[in-house]
Homo-oligomer: A and B are copies of this chain.
């Protein structure tokens, strides 16, 4: 079943201990959609500016991503500039230029409205709900968020959480949202906010999945070389949701395989800057 993803498409400038890149393809919707596209059709909802390189649009197209919802607006594309220290676990934002993203009001093309699987990338929680309002009968909705929304739009986020099936957060976000230091207790508290599942992403250490009394821990693939962690979380979500949408099942075994596949896709992403490495030209075959 087609999977719908809303989020940012950005031009990132990155500094890591291993090098720098200027204005490379980034954004939550980019990483998510490219990773999900290995599993089946993916529909993107995002905005770019006049300066967004056509080659990136062609690249999305080459991955069979439906771009009817990718709109181009007058102005510049959303830009994010970040730096990673030696441990690569924490991003330090150096500069954020929202540009056309500031006025982003996601509108779904008519044929997107029958999407059964929906990923609400890290955008304003009020906008996340306007996307949901436009989907006729969502079967499984996953959502991402960040510290900024947890602190500045907590009530709006809690409203969104009542309508989603699964929340993706990292350790720090889980603690902040639940106001609870222990990650297991924090996840249980978040489940009481509405979602029936929570995935806590822990970077190089993997991910924890919580649903009801179930806990599933997946290790990240141990990599001898990590160049750029940008997009790892959205890649995880893309692999996870892509697999779920392809299986059209949400039983425990499918969820667990989805977590492992999310980890695999994230491991590909962090091996290089941006997207578009040789890794991304293959296909994923699943028994």
Contact = CB atoms under 8 A, between A and B. Distances in A.
Interface string A207-230: 010000001011111111110000
A220 B183 CA distance: 13
Copy tally for this chain in the complex stands at 2
Contacts of A183: 222
B219 A206 contact: yes
B222 A184 contact: yes
Interface string A187-222: 010000000000000100110100000010111111
Contacts of A188: 224
Interface of A: 86, 181-185, 188, 202, 205-206, 208, 215, 217-226
A185 B222 contact: no
A224 B182 contact: yes
A222 B226 contact: no
Contacts of A218: 219
Contacts of A215: 222
Contact of A182 (B181, B202, B206, B226): B226
14 contacts: A182-B223, A182-B225, A182-B226, A184-B222, A202-B205, A205-B205, A205-B206, A206-B217, A206-B219, A208-B222, A215-B222, A217-B220, A217-B221, A219-B219
A181 B202 CA distance: 19
Contact of A184 (B86, B208, B217, B224): B224
A146 B185 CA distance: 32
A214 to B, nearest CB: 11
Nearest to A181: B86
A206 B181 CA distance: 19
For A181, A182, A206, A208, which residue has the most chain B Cβ atoms within 10 angstroms? A182
Nearest to A210: B222
Nearest to A200: B222
A202 B217 CA distance: 14
Nearest to A221: B217
Contacts of A224: 182, 184-185, 188
Given A185-B224, A217-B219, 8 more contacts: A86-B181, A182-B225, A183-B222, A184-B222, A184-B224, A205-B205, A206-B206, A206-B219
